[in-house]
Structure 1
Amino acid sequence: MIRRRHLLGAAAATPLLEKARAWAQAQPFRPEPGAQLRFLRWSRFLEAEDRATTENIRAFSEATGVPVRIDNVWQDDVLPQLSVAARIGNGPDLAWTLHTTPHMFADKLLDVTDVAEHIGGKYGGWYPLIEQYGKRDGRWIGISNVVIGVLPVYRISAVREAGFERFPTDTDGFLRLCEGLKRIGKPAGFAFSRAPSDGNSFCHWLLWSHGGKLVDESNRVALNSPETIRAVEYARALGAHFIPGTIGWNDASNNSAFLAGQVALTNNAISIYGKARADRLEIADDIDHALWPVGPVGQPTELHLVYPFIAFRYSRYPNAVKALLTYMLEQPQYGRVLENSAGYLSHALRAHDDSPVWRSDPRITVFRDVAARGRPLSYAGALGINAATAFSEGIVADMFAEAVSGQASPRDAVVRAERRVQRIYRG
């Protein structure tokens, strides 16, 4: 059900509008006469982003004469609505989606290679992660404008009290830190659960950091391996030092536990730090973030959240669609969204490495690098329906939860998870 709609077609004369008018005279995609667009997006994703995006689109409409209706829906309704639109060939012209959505109906999507190459050429190129999510068979079917990083967040004083001057950069040091935090009564807590953002980020890092993977480069099931078993054994060692109950955590549990002082280390976007700052909590000055430690594989193995724009081939106004996408990705508009997010949103284009937002607060600078360090959730295989299904069914998280809780031995947990992956990839 549509929760909120805006029809944008007029704006007062402002510096933003004046710049939009100048852009419209020189931009490479000329909207079709009489064009009008529908844009489907998540409802209230982030207030600052929502406001900046709405203002940007309003200026686009006034400058180009193309009204844009924004349909705001609950996040769980985005994919079902887009699936119906793809099947019947009618619905929104473009949408803002999550992760693998473009690859679930790739043949129904507008080729936006020209937009991606135009913007990438102007702004230093796209990070490989963005290309992996955006391309199918050599063409761009989705363009991710932002990445939400999910990283370790910790109390500085507790880490020092546990015997560490700096946050550890390797998995051995990370285990010792968790041991130390438990010893001083300020334990860590990470979700061994299907928590969509934080649990998946943590559990995929555990798997990949030790060399485990659901499938190989040829999409052959490869989960049952010595590397995966080592990852699960490492998880059991870690979990012994966590606060009890993390197997049942959702994406709000770690936030509340950290802010209540129940844990001194967890993983999150900047939400915990942002709330502490906004509410002027004393602990705000004692909070910092770190990159995920590197495991035996010797390189970053991180899962972050990617949000692709997509457009449908059935749209009567493909040039108008491309014009809107281009406008939103140009520096003035993109920069407003990025800077207003205060670090909650990270960039997808290399030119924004030096955005002022990353100099505004040293506690959030680490989020600048998440696109460079991230892996697609399908690693090491191809993005598509199989990868999306395995992810949505929580196979990786369930595997770790079964072993950490004692429901199964590490080897049995891996074997059970492997059977589930085989049913998906052979189905």
Structure 2
Amino acid sequence: MAYLIKRRDIAGIGAATMLAGTAAAQSNIPTQPATAPRLPIENGATLRMLRPVRFVQPDEEVFRANCARFTQQTGVQVRVDFVGWEDINQQTAVTGNTGAGPDLIIGFGDAPHVYADKLVELTDVAEYIGTKYGGWKTLAQRYGKRHGTNNWIGLPFGASGGPLVWRKSALTEVGFEKPPEDHANYLRLCQALKRANKPAGFALGNAVGDGNGFANWLIWSFGGHLVNEDGTPGINSRETIAALNYLKELYATFIPGTIAWNDISNNRAYSSNELFLTANGVSLYFSLKNDPATAPIAADTEHTLLPKGLASTSPMAGLTLNAMVFKHSRYPNAAKALLQFLLETEQYDPWLQANLGYWAQPLNAYGQSAVWSSDPKVSIFRDTMDTGFWNGYRGPITEGTAAANADYVMVQMCASVASGQATPEAAAREAERRAARFFRRR
């Protein structure tokens, strides 16, 4: 899913989306009357924020410009440090465990639930923003609220989706108009692509986005889940066994090497005409589109949701940005005011547009953003946060879900079966054993 779009790749987008606030004048984002919370900013307040490094170049530029606007309006100096995706979890852990460091962090998904007792509650900001902008989407509520309560400990900023990315000409050649939604015909498609020497491939290595995304889809599409609703391990089930047996056949159609793939591997293979069906974020498409050497591949590229299989909807969970404010901050009101400011139309919509669809909005009103009509191949990413699936599905989001995800329990279970190192039954038992370290036993 990770694929950097450089400055030259967005040269044709237009200056309006490059500067915070300018796109808002052209915005038609609907709003509802709402009363903002009273957040008297502390005297002498300064803020330091950590957030994951951008993969779409304007993300950082517009985000920094928005923070500079906050400084202009409030006098609060804001320092933003962009860190690597693998590093953000480690630095969040250091901050949470030492009670020192950044005032606020935009981490991934379930991160606030790991440090819930060390965070400032954000319910007042969340309720105001939600009322004003048409309500929070399903995944945003799941990750933002502390389990079993209406208390917000995180403010989701968006999610990156990873639907199927495929070459139309390759599917047409093997007799398919688009990827099927059922398991049997999806397997038949992948087998046909392999015979045509235009194979599919999905990450089975320890990849934050792509590895977890594929493993989760596989298990969820057969009705399996990592955690039961009562918080006990639920991975060792007949649904999981069925999924892993299916994987043995599906993996045989993959391009070689996917066991070791990281988040960039499928991008490279797809861009070099070695791979013709995979799953990825929108950044791959734009990188291809804006490079003359690969523009023909982009023109031949389509996006569709991951196959439903036995699920009622496509089983996907967007990789979510989730902001949190730490209690050790001397300036909690300033920190909350900054997050509120960044989610308002004047700042958020230009940032959303600058990201080209890489991050999809957590609030319903931003579904009207111009970015979603800017390119027909981007619109599929608009509803990424409407999903009913999440890390640790179907159990509560807790420190355990974050730990199991970081430990690649699902990915390594799938990889062990695909590589022939374990039977489906043995792999499911081992995954249950590993999960038991993080969740209550049955």
- Give your verdict on TM over 0.5: yes
Please say if 1:297 is aligned against 2:317.
no
RMSD over equivalenced CA pairs, Å: 2.0
Unaligned runs of at least 5 residues, structure 2: 1-18, 26-34
* Cα distance change of structure 1 residues 423 and 92 upon mapping to structure 2, 3 Å threshold: closer
What does residue 346 of structure 1 align with? 360
Distance (whole Å) between structure 2 residues aligned to residue 223 and residue 91 of structure 1: 37
Please say if 1:378 is aligned against 2:388.
no
Which of 19, 30, 34 is 2:44 aligned to? Answer: 34
Query: How is 1:26-175 mapped onto 2 (pairs within 5 angstroms)?
Result: 28=37, 29-136=39-146, 137-175=149-187
Distance (whole Å) between structure 1 residues aligned to residue 89 and residue 257 of structure 2: 31
Which of 176, 184, 208 is 2:220 aligned to? Answer: 208
Distance (whole Å) between structure 1 residues aligned to residue 86 and residue 20 of structure 2: 36
User: How far off is 1:150 after superposition?
Assistant: 1.0
8 Å Cα contact 1:151/1:269 also seen in 2: yes
What does residue 200 of structure 2 align with? 188
User: How far off is 1:374 after superposition?
Assistant: 5.2
Distance (whole Å) between structure 2 residues aligned to residue 347 and residue 184 of structure 1: 39
Distance (whole Å) between structure 2 residues aligned to residue 154 and residue 90 of structure 1: 46
What does residue 227 of structure 1 align with? 239
Distance (whole Å) between structure 1 residues aligned to residue 346 and residue 125 of structure 2: 17
* Secondary structure, counterpart of 1:86 in structure 2: helix
Query: How is 1:368-407 mapped onto 2 (pairs within 5 angstroms)?
Result: 368-373=382-387, 375-407=389-421
Distance (whole Å) between structure 1 residues aligned to residue 264 and residue 21 of structure 2: 36
* Secondary structure, counterpart of 1:363 in structure 2: coil
Range with greater deviation from structure 2 (79-88 or 174-183): 79-88
What does residue 329 of structure 1 align with? 343
Distance (whole Å) between structure 2 residues aligned to residue 359 and residue 100 of structure 1: 30
Which of 252, 260, 266 is 2:272 aligned to? Answer: 260
* Secondary structure, counterpart of 1:306 in structure 2: strand
User: How far off is 1:322 after superposition?
Assistant: 1.6
Distance (whole Å) between structure 1 residues aligned to residue 106 and residue 204 of structure 2: 29
What does residue 5 of structure 1 align with? none
8 Å Cα contact 1:300/1:374 also seen in 2: no
Distance (whole Å) between structure 2 residues aligned to residue 86 and residue 421 of structure 1: 23
8 Å Cα contact 2:20/2:63 also seen in 1: no
Q: Which amino acid aligns with 2:129?
A: I
User: How far off is 1:44 after superposition?
Assistant: 4.1
* Secondary structure, counterpart of 2:323 in structure 1: strand
8 Å Cα contact 1:27/1:323 also seen in 2: no
TM-score by length of 1: 0.91
Distance (whole Å) between structure 2 residues aligned to residue 213 and residue 174 of structure 1: 21
Range with greater deviation from structure 2 (223-232 or 40-49): 40-49
Please say if 1:239 is aligned against 2:251.
yes
Distance (whole Å) between structure 1 residues aligned to residue 399 and residue 117 of structure 2: 13
User: How far off is 1:426 after superposition?
Assistant: 4.4
8 Å Cα contact 1:151/1:292 also seen in 2: yes
Distance (whole Å) between structure 2 residues aligned to residue 15 and residue 345 of structure 1: 16
User: How far off is 1:388 after superposition?
Assistant: 1.3
Higher relative contact order (CA 8 A, sep 6+): 2
The percentage of aligned residue pairs carrying the same residue is 43
Distance (whole Å) between structure 2 residues aligned to residue 244 and residue 71 of structure 1: 37
Distance (whole Å) between structure 1 residues aligned to residue 273 and residue 169 of structure 2: 12
CA deviation vs aligned residue, 1:261-307 (integer Å, no higher than 9, x gap): 11110111112211111212221100111101111132331122011
Distance (whole Å) between structure 1 residues aligned to residue 432 and residue 363 of structure 2: 36
8 Å Cα contact 1:304/1:374 also seen in 2: no
* Cα distance change of structure 1 residues 60 and 416 upon mapping to structure 2, 3 Å threshold: same
CA deviation vs aligned residue, 1:35-64 (integer Å, no higher than 9, x gap): 221112234453211100100110111111
Please say if 1:279 is aligned against 2:291.
yes
User: How far off is 1:80 after superposition?
Assistant: 3.0
Higher-helix-fraction structure: 1
User: How far off is 1:85 after superposition?
Assistant: 2.7
* Secondary structure, counterpart of 1:139 in structure 2: coil
Distance (whole Å) between structure 1 residues aligned to residue 60 and residue 398 of structure 2: 29
CA deviation vs aligned residue, 1:333-365 (integer Å, no higher than 9, x gap): 110111011111111111111211111111111
CA deviation vs aligned residue, 1:5-39 (integer Å, no higher than 9, x gap): xxxxxxxxx9949x99xxxxx96433223222111
Distance (whole Å) between structure 1 residues aligned to residue 373 and residue 93 of structure 2: 40
* Secondary structure, counterpart of 2:439 in structure 1: helix
Please say if 1:248 is aligned against 2:260.
yes
Q: Which amino acid aligns with 2:175?
A: G
User: How far off is 1:87 after superposition?
Assistant: 3.1
Number of paired residues?
408
8 Å Cα contact 1:48/1:340 also seen in 2: yes
User: How far off is 1:191 after superposition?
Assistant: 1.3
